[in-house]
Structure 1
Amino acid sequence: MATRGRKPKPTAFKVLEGNPGKRSLNMNEPKPEKKAPKCPSWLEPEAKKEWRRMSKQLEKLGVLTQVDAAAFAGYCQAYARWKEAEEFLSKHGTIFKTPSGYIQQVPQVSIAQTYLKIMRDFCSEFGLTPSSRSRIAVDNAVKDSADPMEKLLMRRHNG
């Protein structure tokens, strides 16, 4: 059975945002090690390039952890397939004429749209869009701390 309402935001994001709702934070939320997982060997070559391009940056932000491998692989694979469809469209166009003379859209148009939507969903999970990033504020004074909860507690203790 599906849960109702809006999907909850991870506590680490709430802390980085400054807990704007001032609701109590989940102190018992699992805190996986903030280390990028190893790139899966089965990813397409373009997906592996995207993995290498983004994983270290997300690791630095504390967003990508060992347990996020499947979700991040999904993002990278969707990126690779979206890029492939877009490259096809750039080279061959978006429509073609059928043997009977009708104008039709090439399948790559809907493929690109589908994978762009999948990518957008993953991007918001990892804070990879301007709007999802705009809700996150990094406090430089405690930026080097490994644990977002530690940052929050330090802020409350010092401030």
Structure 2
Amino acid sequence: MADKELTSWVLFLCLKGGEDLAIRGRKPKPTNLKLLEGNPGKRPLPTNEVRPKQKAPRCPQWLEDDAKKEWKRMGKILEQMGILTEMDMTAFAGYCQAYARWKEAEEFLSKHGSIIKTPNGYLQQVPQVSISQTNLKIMLKFCEQFGLTPSARNRLATMDAEVGTGDEMEDLLGGIL
């Protein structure tokens, strides 16, 4: 399957929600995200998870220009977090492409507005509104997968907080005073 076809398939599954895959319950979280969040329940972490090399994939040449810029911007962040690997190329490309299309639609809406008058005199929403909303949904689904939503960031524990200062009261107050 070609990269573009695979990306289209991933985008389709994201929009559809993956209902036809027959996977029920919560989606498992990658171990790296679990490590960053901490393990408050002290549950054993999976040891048999596939762990590809911690190397970010190369940006595909077929991405739109804005998608390539987003790839460079977010790719560095995700690689530093230890989340982005070679295996994530298609999913990350899908996110970046959705970002580029969302941005293009939003720029159009900012310039031209979201309503047009038809030849019959009716007011109608321009297609870019739907394009923007659809691509924003796709982006948010990918963001959830990569741990990039505000709620995911709030769950992430900083590495400093895990280590502690050695002073129990200082750790408890967390530098408030």
TM-score (ref. length: structure 1): 0.84
Helix, strand or coil at the partner of 1:96: strand
2:35 to 8, 11, 15: 15
Helix, strand or coil at the partner of 2:116: strand
> Is it true that 1:137 corresponds to 2:157 in the alignment?
yes
Partner of 1:40: 60
**1:142 Cα deviation from its structure 2 partner:** 8.9
1:81 to 101, 108, 120: 101
- Write the deviation string for residues 20-75 of structure 1: whole angstroms up to 9, x where unpaired: 33332211101111111000000011100111111112111101111100000000
**1:89 Cα deviation from its structure 2 partner:** 0.3
CA distance in 2, matches of 1:90, 1:74: 24
Q: Give the count of matched residue pairs.
A: 143
CA distance in 1, matches of 2:33, 2:136: 24
1:114 to 115, 134, 138: 134
For structure 1, the 5+ residue unaligned runs are 144-159
For structure 2, the 5+ residue unaligned runs are 1-20, 164-177
Identity %: 69
Kindly provide the amino acid, as one letter, of the partner of residue 47 in structure 2.
M
- Write the deviation string for residues 74-113 of structure 1: whole angstroms up to 9, x where unpaired: 0000000000000000011000010001100001001100
Partner of 1:124: 144
CA distance in 2, matches of 1:35, 1:127: 18
CA distance in 2, matches of 1:14, 1:121: 18
Partner of 2:89: 69
Kindly provide the amino acid, as one letter, of the partner of residue 41 in structure 1.
Q
RMSD: 1.7
CA distance in 2, matches of 1:118, 1:101: 34
